[in-house]
Chain A
Amino acid sequence: EADIYQTPRYLVIGTGKKITLECSQTMGHDKMYWYQQDPGMELHLIHYSYGVNSTEKGDLSSESTVSRIRTEHFPLTLESARPSHTSQYLCASSVLGTSTNTEAFFGQGTRLTVV
């Protein structure tokens, strides 16, 4: 069973508000990721990190930002939420390197609705 947690599970917020989506894992994984999932189910990588103080943008451009001050935390922040940010956000983590245990473990997701 994966030990990766996201809060909140559901969030409805007004336009212009600043929000932070939390993601924590207790598996000691170096790699962490944020995916955005469209209503049509497809997942897109928006941010990833190889470890503390490492953050990179993924393939899908996003107005969100991330930070990695501690190995176990990888929060995602939207400075000014807009309706176009309405989506599900999934956090994941995996081990670093070429270990055979390369699968990513996912949190339960945060369903964000911006009204």
Chain B
Amino acid sequence: AQKVTQAQTEISVVEKEDVTLDCVYETRDTTYYLFWYKQPPSGELVFLIRRNSFDEQNEISGRYSWNFQKSTSSFNFTITASQVVDSAVYFCALRPSGAGSYQLTFGKGTKLSVIP
């Protein structure tokens, strides 16, 4: 069984503050993928990043960075110098990497509000 926990239901920050969204996962699979998606008020889910369980190297993309720690089963997401456009619901997700795997397990999401 797989499980993704996003303990923070809602977070509010003032513009230009840094914010970290937590994600903790559980899986019995030895290989898997982790994802982050952004859901703005318009409703669609926008893919942000994919991370293979083999690759624990942290990644930075502009103001976004991700910290993957297999030892603690965490895949946290940090937004630096937050902006109002970052306001959205953010989902962490997990999927086994086997050829027959289909199941994307989502966390419950964290609603981020960036206040001007």
Residues of A within 8 A of B (CB): 2, 9, 31, 33, 40-43, 45, 48, 50, 59, 88, 90, 92, 97-98, 100, 102-109, 111
The A-contacting residues of B in range 63-116, CB under 8 angstroms, are: 89, 91, 95, 97-99, 102-104, 106, 108-109, 111
A97 CA to B50 CA, complexed, in Å: 16
Judging by beta carbons under 8 Å apart, are B102 and A90 in contact? no
Given A48-B102, A106-B37, A108-B43; 11 other pairs, CB 8 A cutoff: A33-B104, A41-B39, A41-B109, A45-B104, A90-B44, A98-B97, A103-B33, A104-B104, A106-B46, A108-B44, A109-B44
Chain B residues with Cβ below 8 Å from A109 are 43-44
The smallest beta-carbon distance between B96 and chain A, in angstroms, is: 10
Whether A43 and B106, one on each chain, are in contact in the complex, defined by CB atoms closer than 8 angstroms, is yes
- A contact patch SS: loop
In the bound assembly, the distance between CA atoms of A67 and B47 in angstroms comes to 26
- With A41-B109, A102-B97 in contact, is A33–B43 under 8 Å at CB? no
Nearest 5 interchain pairs by C-beta: A106-B45, A108-B44, A41-B109, A109-B43, A43-B106
Q: Across the interface, name the chain B residue whose C-beta is closest to A1.
A: B46
Does B52 make an interface contact (CB < 8 A)? yes
B42, CB-defined interface residue at 8 Å: yes
Q: Which residue of chain A lies nearest to B111 when distances are taken between CB atoms in the complex?
A: A41
Among A41, A88, A105, point to the contact of B47 (Cβ < 8 A): A105
A2 to B99, CA, bound (A): 22
